[in-house]
Amino acid sequence: STALSVPARIKPTWNPWGEFPLGTDEQGRDILAHLTVGTPLTLRIGLLAAAIGIGVGMILAFISAYAGGWIDAIIRVLVDSLIPIPGLVILIIIATALTPGKGLNVDQLALAIAVLAWPGPARVIRSQVLVMRERGYVQMARMSGTGSLGIIFKEMMPNLAPYILASYVAAVTGAILATIGIETLGLGDIDAPTLGAMLYWIIELGALLKGQWWWLLSPIVVIVLLFVGLFMISAGLDEVANPRLRRRV
């Protein structure tokens, strides 16, 4: 079983030249094997939450930019109201309200994060759509009789792709950070083999107080490398999406 709440305990060990190169945890489980399973699962939560959030944000951005009037005003007020609110606080409230004493499972956590992930992308994409609407190639397409959907998919989407990808990577980063934070607090599925649940049990069982430093070091290194990789991808996409930044480089 991958559950971390099994009561049976085996003395944790660390022997980099032995069978378990990253050591074992308090239940005698291979830390390397746990990271091999937990890292992709944590990443999957981030990818899924970001995909839903970007999708919702993109749809609302186009509706806002094209509809204008009171529809645009309502969406802008909603976006401006949600962005300043700390997402982690809302997630804590959602987790404690929906699943008291139990915690959100992996799918519920991804969905909850997705609900909070759309305002930022909606604001960025809306501003780009408003600018593109006045570009010459869009005006020419409109004069040639191309409908709104045709303009969006044929003219705007190819030019918006770098912005959408950059927003997606940023959303993935935020979603993973939120996932790890919620699970570390014990408000996620603490029996799931994720990085956040791993940190929860490290803290809960007092690994550092017992001198089990290798148990904490391994997930911390993986998390740092994960965020560094996402930051480098985001920086590269920003150079493509932002011509001014590209000229400076």
Has residue 146 got a pLDDT over 60? yes
Mean pLDDT of 10-31: 72
pLDDT of residue 16: 59
Has residue 25 got a pLDDT over 60? yes
Instruction: Say which residues have a Cβ less than 8 Å from residue 109's Cβ, sequence separation at least 6.
Output: 45, 49, 95, 179, 182, 183, 188, 189
- Residue 75: inside a domain, yes or no? yes
Q: Average pLDDT, whole number, for the chain?
A: 82
pTM of the model: 0.81
pLDDT of residue 14: 63
Domain encompassing residue 109 = 31-248
Mean pLDDT of 10-23: 67
- Residue 217: inside a domain, yes or no? yes
- Residue 74: inside a domain, yes or no? yes
Q: What is the pLDDT of residues 223-249, one digit of tens each?
A: 999 999 999 888 887 777 665 544 444
- Residue 124: inside a domain, yes or no? yes
Q: Which of 2-11, 101-110, 162-171 shows the highest mean pLDDT?
A: 162-171
- Residue 42: inside a domain, yes or no? yes
Please compute Rg for the chain using Cα positions: 22
- Residue 240: inside a domain, yes or no? yes
The CATH number for 35's domain is 1.10.3720.10
Phi, psi of 29, rounded to the nearest 5 degrees: -90, 145
Q: How far apart are CA 38 and CA 3, in angstroms?
A: 12
- Residue 10: inside a domain, yes or no? no
Q: What is the pLDDT of residues 218-230, one digit of tens each?
A: 999 999 999 999 9
- Residue 55: inside a domain, yes or no? yes
Q: How many domains does the chain have?
A: 1
Q: What angle do CA 208, 223, 170 make, to 5 degrees?
A: 145
pLDDT of residue 8: 41
Q: What is the pLDDT of residues 168-210, one digit of tens each?
A: 998 999 999 999 999 998 888 888 889 999 999 999 888 888 8
